[in-house]
């Protein structure tokens, strides 16, 4: 979090302070056929696909807000001291 250096899964360890970024998915990857290959079950997770945020056209304002359960948007200073 302090250096903005990416950490791949091989280097990730318990206790690291990290920032996780989520990006909108291309609509081509949300079809039932595509989700069989790139969806959470394809990677061994027992959860179904759900977008992080609704499409801008659904909100009407063009702004996006995180709607994933259990996800909090904080500045790096706030996140550092939140346990």
pLDDT digits (tens, 9 = 90+) for 32-73: 999 999 999 999 999 999 887 766 554 444 444 444 555 555
Q: pTM, whole model, 2 decimals?
A: 0.46
**Res 63: pLDDT:** 45
Is 77 buried (19+), middle (13-18) or exposed (0-12) by CB count in 10 A? exposed
Q: Higher model confidence: residue 2 or residue 46?
A: 46
CB neighbour burial string for 22-60, b if at least 16 within 10 angstroms, e if fewer: eeeeeeeeeeeebbeeebeeeeeeeeebeeebeeeeeee
**Res 15: pLDDT:** 87
């Amino acid at each position: 979090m302090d250096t903005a250096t990416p950490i791949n899964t091989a280097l990730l360890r318990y206790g690291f302070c990290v920032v996780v970024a989520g990006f909108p998915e291309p609509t081509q990857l949300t079809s039932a056929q595509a989700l069989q290959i790139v969806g959470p079950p394809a990677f061994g997770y027992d959860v179904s696909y759900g977008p992080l945020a609704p499409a801008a056209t659904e909100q009407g304002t063009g702004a996006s807000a995180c709607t994933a359960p259990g996800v909090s948007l904080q500045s790096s200073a706030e996140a550092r001291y939140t346990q």
